[in-house]
Chain A
Amino acid sequence: MSIDLSQFIPVFLEESFEGLEVMESGLLNLEENDAEAINAIFRAAHSIKGGAGTFGFSNITDFTHVVETLMDELRAGRRSCSDSLKSVLLSSVDCIRLLLEAARDGTACDEPQIKQVLQQLEAELSCDNEDKVAIVSNELEIIDLSSSHVPVMETLGWVIDFAPAPHLLMTGNEPILLMSALADLGQLVTNAAIGLVPSLDELNPEELFLHWKINLYSDCSELAVREIFEWVEGDCSLSVFPLQKSADVTSEESVTNDPVAPEMTFEKATEQPANAESVEPASASFETLSPKISSDSPAAPAQNSRKNQADQGSIRVGIDKIDGLINRVGELVITQSMLGQVGLEMSDCDHPGVERLNDGLVQLERNTRDLQEEVMRIRMLPISFVFNRFPRMVHDISSKLGKLVELKLSGEQTELDKTVMEKIGDPLLHLIRNALDHGLETPQERIAAGKTESGTVHLNASHQGGFIIIQIKDDGRGLDTDKIREKALSSGLITTDQLLNDTDIHDLIFVPGFSTVAEVNDLSGRGVGMDVVRRNIEALGGYVAVVSEEGEGSTFTVSLPLTLAILDGQLIQAHHEIYIIPLLSIIESIWVSTGSLNAVVGRGCLFSFRDEYIPVISLSDVFGLSETPKNFTNSLMVIVEGGGKRAGLIVDELQGQQQVVIKSLETNYKRVEGFSGATILGTGQVALILDVAGVIKMGLDSSTSRYPHAATKDNGHLLAKANI
């Protein structure tokens, strides 16, 4: 029978990655005598090793074995947890992660790093007390013995003398089953000796008094025979010798053992008088450990999310099933809105069923919405999954930079969609690294500036409407406005005649091309990759902004939609085209007249809204929908906010509000500036969803020159190509 084990590999990998999290957080907070934490780390390593062995990842088994050995010694109190040990164990966690990832992707992995850490681990192992080494070498000897060469001789079979101890049944072993296992090796001829059986009134039915002499006709090895009796050695006397007349007496043994004083009897190999010395240390080591058996208290539950979930009666479901469910629900929402549309059209109908139909449709809408929310909740996970990666990283980077940092985490239980979570890790990582690298000063600089020696990075997550807000706040030196301005001037991002306030200048670090050069040391890296961070966050429909006070620190705020699957949208019409504006971005909608608009040279049109002037953007101009620029007199304006900026969008008509299923433009077609996705309306029509921040940017760019966006030219082509 063959069983394909590969089906269990994904579960093993998932478990092992969780185990690594346990190891990592455990190691970071490890105190000397924290038996519970040490146990949890040990168990995690142990499980990874065991699983890797079972599923055939021998490289992971070998590597983890060394880690496990070290942890085991920590556990047994034979080793103290030094900083060097902790750091090499932390590196080993990284290595195991690499190995697991390679196993997952079926690729080879970074050998030199693994080798290097393995050497460090072995170096840790070898700095050890003497008797431990002695025991290890003895164990090695024993292992050598057990795999020692057993002479294979041409034999008719084996003569087995098997006399179980009276208590054998109490160990759960049963002679009949041992015999039947022997029978699988060849033909058996058994003789039971009944001489020791007491009279019936003295017989204890739970004890054994029979004694067997068995001839086994088989060409199997002695080892195969002994293997069957492996578990009863020590609870019986056993001898095995060849059936043919042979003078080979060494392979005969007769041991009667009292398991209370165990000796070396669980050997598969032939026992030889010569290994009597090697017996000593092993049994000695057992004796030294025997008091530990009783004091081995049941370990405390690991702080493992899986465990906690299991306690609440959870089940594991493949993410593909959930994605399938979400897609189905998305289709259902579309169908429901289509039916809603039909219901509206039929409401003038004079049919007795119309009213009931509309009642049903209202219920359908409510149920669909509830169902969709429930389904979305399945994929929601606490952001702690991402946050938990950071303590380790901060620990590593700060020690490399020689800075003192306290990382504060709050709001870890804030939930967001798994798909968003998977994509947000890297941008956050970059922002934190940036805060450590460029935001925080060295301890000396901090003291000189009259601050505490150790800096603080605070990571906070919270919900705000349909968004999750993640703040990365440091109390470092803040952004140097003058330096950034200089930098931007020299790299041609801004011109000298541009009037920019501090916020605008700070915002420049996100502009592509604002990379820094080595000679501006204290600024080096601020902005390197920041454009990528912003782009990635905006690709998720979110935005990032920075607020900074020189000398006081900076706060980066990342806002992300909770889910990438569905949004509440406002349908609007601009020049025969229907677009969707996310409801969350809309502040209000108003009628405007020419009088309330101010044309400003070089800045297009401005509208005075709540004590600030906001740019006015015509959608039909921005998307190039009509040849003639739009006249703003008596138009409908939707005031929106996106990417930290506000603007008034001029539209022709407001239509209904509805929930729409987001279909990705990027996956089905390509990224289109100004749009975050598309959806299918109840009418079957495809409508594009506005990326408000993108549209505002386009509007500002085109306020001086007509924006040559090819949305119309693109639309037909886009919809033909897009498989949505």
Chain B
Amino acid sequence: MATVLVVDDSVSLRSMVTFTLTKQGYDVVEAEDGEDAFNKAKHIVCDLVLTDVNMPKMDGISLCTELRKLESFKFTPILILTTENSQEMKYKGKAAGATGWLVKPFNPETLLSTLKRVVR
């Protein structure tokens, strides 16, 4: 089953996402900010990244840019979790190499059905 890297500085949201994914059989690696995620990403193979935008140390957009520089993340789907359903955010994400975005709040069902578009 696929491995998902979940990046969010909010513990409650991270646990919710992790719980939802593990229940479905995904393997989850958690990270609490962009920097943490980037450090972990260097040592794991993962099939999907879910990242929040606003985080200390390194935000989600910068993380996306950095991950795309890694050979192992060239084609990896990266989804940005955003509360703004704004064009600006989507452009920024796209420009940084993000695959798509999920607008918060989302419920577990939406999360799972959306993931199907990018991960087997």
Contacts and interface: CB of A to CB of B under 8 A. Distances in A.
A316 B11 CA distance: 10
B35 A298 contact: yes
A314 to B, nearest CB: 12
A310 B32 CA distance: 9
Nearest to A289: B88
B57 to A, nearest CB: 6
Secondary structure call for the A interface: helix
A293 B24 CA distance: 36
Contact of A51 (B10, B54, B94, B95): B10
Interface string B10-43: 1111011001100110000000111100000000
A3 B61 contact: no
Contact of A296 (B61, B81, B88, B118): B61
A172 B32 contact: no
Given A50-B13, A262-B91, A301-B57, A170 B62 contact: no
A174 B75 CA distance: 9
Given A42-B54, A296-B59, A298-B62, A47 B34 contact: no
Contact of A228 (B16, B91, B117): B117
A677 B109 CA distance: 52
B3 interface: no
Contacts of B33: 301
Interface in B57-112: 57-59, 61-62, 74-78, 81, 83, 85-88, 90-92, 94-101, 104-109, 112
A12 interface: yes
A43 interface: yes
A8 B12 contact: yes
B105 A172 contact: no
A47 B10 contact: yes
B117 A170 contact: no
A43 to B, nearest CB: 5
Contacts of B94: 171, 234, 259, 262
Given A1-B109, A43-B9, A51-B12, A299 B56 contact: yes
B90 A299 contact: no
Interface residues of A, number: 64
Contacts of B88: 282, 285-286, 289
A310 B87 CA distance: 34
Contact of B56 (A5, A172, A181, A300): A300
Interface of B: 9-13, 15-16, 19-20, 23-24, 32-35, 52, 54-59, 61-62, 74-78, 81, 83, 85-88, 90-92, 94-101, 104-109, 112, 116-120
Given A3-B108, A46-B83, A298-B59, 18 more contacts: A1-B23, A1-B109, A1-B112, A7-B19, A8-B15, A11-B12, A47-B10, A49-B83, A170-B75, A171-B98, A172-B75, A177-B117, A177-B120, A180-B116, A206-B75, A266-B87, A289-B88, A293-B92
Kindly list the 8 A-B residue pairs having the minimum CB-CB distance in the complex, ordered from nearest.
Answer: A53-B105, A231-B100, A172-B99, A12-B12, A172-B77, A298-B58, A54-B105, A11-B12
6 contacts: A50-B13, A51-B10, A51-B12, A170-B97, A171-B94, A171-B97
